[in-house]
Amino acid sequence: MIIEHAGKRPAVHLTSSVAVDATICGDVTIGPNTRVLYGARIIGENGGQITIGSNCIVMENAVIRGTPRHTCTIGNFCLIGPNAHVAGAVLEDEVFVATSAAIFHGARLGQGAEVRPHATVHLRTCLPAGVIVPIGWVAVGDPVHILPPERHEEIWEVQKPLNFPDWVYGVPRDTPHWMQQVTRSLSESLAVLVSDRIVREDCETRR
Amino acid sequence: MIIEHAGKRPAVHLTSSVAVDATICGDVTIGPNTRVLYGARIIGENGGQITIGSNCIVMENAVIRGTPRHTCTIGNFCLIGPNAHVAGAVLEDEVFVATSAAIFHGARLGQGAEVRPHATVHLRTCLPAGVIVPIGWVAVGDPVHILPPERHEEIWEVQKPLNFPDWVYGVPRDTPHWMQQVTRSLSESLAVLVSDRIVREDCETRR
Amino acid sequence: MIIEHAGKRPAVHLTSSVAVDATICGDVTIGPNTRVLYGARIIGENGGQITIGSNCIVMENAVIRGTPRHTCTIGNFCLIGPNAHVAGAVLEDEVFVATSAAIFHGARLGQGAEVRPHATVHLRTCLPAGVIVPIGWVAVGDPVHILPPERHEEIWEVQKPLNFPDWVYGVPRDTPHWMQQVTRSLSESLAVLVSDRIVREDCETRR
């Protein structure tokens, strides 16, 4: 379904198509010949922008999110795998995000980058063109470190100064009870949910 | 949508909101100012109870489950990330469950615990307040062991006596053809699905 | 919902049931006493076949896919966990696919195999009866290698000649701009989406 959210309505190119049980919501622009498969969620949260190019495939139950702080831009010929998550990142052309991979806010993935199943590309990480993140590994930082999960100490050394709570939610990690600040502010901004309006129910979107 | 299931109907506080394509089903109680985002599933299976506090954010395509054997309780100011899974566990206040993390039956997560992307908190595990489970790691046992996946032997040494099939489904692992017992009994108890009734379709829930 | 797709209509046994927000789409056959839970997607893509046996449990937001190149067959007494992904594989009886696990095209899982949370069974992999893939590990090849993620070099040595892009999409990996070929050909074949037709909306399926 196509949902108007926070006063913004998705624009899907007439040659693209959206499965009947997928959701496109808010300030989302989708180019030609892109396919959004069953159960995928493409959510421009509270005015957050998402742009997806041509010939992209967004697979079953994938989640793509843009927020007011972090626009999400996906180029042409990209594939976002089943159960994958892309939030507030920039993907150049021909990027492959495999099953259950996760890409975070402010990441930039160069042309032809490949993020394998269960891998993570963390916030503000720059993945150069053509680089592969192996199954279950973590890419973090700029310049990027690509490490297996057991090398947590090294991952955290790079990740900590990137300051996830501050970058993503505007609440520095050393704020007392930072989770209270984060969730309160999300709760307030997401109150806009009540004004959501279904624009179209059907699978084909022509405009 | 809000679904009456096994004769139980969700109660969502009038200040909370539920995305139009999310599902709240069965014996679920949600407190004030909580937001349930697109595609999330909060399922009180066959009479199983779920209680969620105030100012929680349940993100896209997250799954929260309660069963007759294992109630699920989530405190205030918690965030359940996209594609995450929480089943039959207790989360105190200010718990952060990141993207694609999995929390299992009988786990207890102390205040401010943080479960990072792709991490697992296994059944009957006690995670003390403020403790972090790194990306892709496994927390298991009480007292807890927090280990990277390649240390499978140590994980299994702690996990095996916790007896997942017995604890979760009431079928000891050494039962011949235990999967036949588990799936038959789930199939029988879930026959109740046919009596599901949509109570509300829309995104705002006022009662 | 039950969707006719590419001219094919799912056949669900009258004793089975499908949650009202789950999707069964295309050439899918489901045997007796199987339960498809909330948000699950069972998608026979563009004529691709899926057969699921009796007493199976497909849990919340799980994705099962069959494609024209890769039929998916699931035996009896199998459990497909929440957020799991099974594409174009053969699962014999009593297979347990845990939360967020991923099974790829052409894999064959023997009776009673157990794929733990966040684990991967890669394409064309043969997992013998009763074998366990530990949390977050990768099973690859035939004969199978079961390795933790940090042993990427060994995984890739086995995986590379299995040639994912060629096997799954018919485009050899050394094709220049292979992602352009893959996404263009998927975009064309998935144009069929526009002819999808909802056959039933409700949770109970009797035929």
Helix-strand-coil split of chain A, %, nearest 5 = 20, 30, 50
Which residue in B61, B120, B187 is closest to C33 by CB distance? B187
Q: Output b/e per residue, A97-106; b: 16+ Cβ within 10 A.
A: bbbbbbbbbb
Taking residues C139-153, report their average pLDDT.
98
Subunits touching A (CB < 8 Å, at least 3 pairs)?
Answer: B, C
More confidently predicted of A106 and A202:
A106
Q: How confident is the model at residue A170 (pLDDT cuts 50, 70, 90)?
A: very high
Q: What is the pLDDT of residue C205?
A: 41
CB B186 within 8 A of CB C54: no
Closest CA–CA distance from residue C28 to any residue of chain B (Å): 19
pLDDT tens for C2-33 read 999 999 999 999 999 999 999 999 999 999 99
Interface test with C, best of B179, B190, B195 (most C CBs within 10 A): B179
Say what percent of chain B tops pLDDT 70. Answer: 97
Q: Give the span between the Cα atoms of B19 and A11, in whole angstroms.
A: 20
Q: Which residues of B touch C95 (CB under 8 A)?
A: 179
* Contact flag A134-C118 (C-beta cutoff 8 Å): no
In our burial notation (b when 16+ CB lie closer than 10 A, e otherwise), range A146-156 reads bbbbbbbeebe
The answer to whether residue B203 scores a pLDDT higher than 70 is no
Q: In angstroms, rounded to a whole number, what is the distance separating the alpha carbons of residues A70 and A51? A: 12
Name the DSSP class of A26. S
Mean local confidence (pLDDT), A89-114: 98
Q: What is the pLDDT of residue C202?
A: 60
Specify the residue for token string 């929680």: B56
Q: Which chains touch C (3 or more CB pairs under 8 A)?
A: A, B
The structure's pTM equals 0.97
Among B78, B80, B99, pick the best mutation site for testing chain A contact (most A Cβ within 10 A).
Answer: B99
Q: Is the pLDDT of residue B201 over 80?
A: no
Identify the pLDDT of residue A200. Answer: 84
Question: pLDDT-based confidence at B200, cuts 50/70/90?
Answer: confident
List, for residues B162-172, the tens digit of each pLDDT value: 999 999 999 99
Backbone torsions φ then ψ of A130, nearest 5 degrees: 75, 0
How far is it, in rounded angstroms, from Cα C143 to Cα C92?
17
pLDDT at B205 (0 to 100): 41
Write the residue in C61, C96, C151 that is nearest to B61 by C-beta.
Answer: C61
What's the CA gap between A103 and B116, in Å, rounded? 13
- Model pLDDT, residue C108: 98
Which residues of chain C does A150 touch, with a Cβ-Cβ cutoff of 8 Å? 150
What per-residue confidence (pLDDT) applies to A69? 96
Phi, psi of B24 (to 5 degrees): -120, 125
Distance CA A21, CA C203 (A): 15
CA distance B90 to B106: 7
Q: Give the containing element (helix H, strand E) for A168.
A: helix A164-169
Contacting residues for B130 by C-beta, under 8 A, at least 6 apart: B110, B111, B112, B113, B114
Q: Give the mean pLDDT of C107-124.
A: 98
Asked whether the predicted pLDDT for residue B207 surpasses 90, the reply is no
Query: What whole-number distance in Å separates Cα of residue C81 and Cα of residue C96?
Result: 8
Q: Do B149 and A152 touch (CB under 8 A)?
A: no
| Percent of chain C residues topping a pLDDT of 70 | 97
pLDDT above 90: residue A203: no
pLDDT of residue A204: 46
What is the arithmetic mean of pLDDT over A86-98? 98
The alpha carbon of residue B143 and the mean position of all alpha carbons in its chain are separated, in whole angstroms, by: 21
The 10 Å Cβ neighbour count of residue B98 is 25
Contact residues, chain A, for B96 at CB < 8 Å: 179
Residue of A nearest to B134 (CA): A152
Contact C95 B179 (CB under 8 A): yes
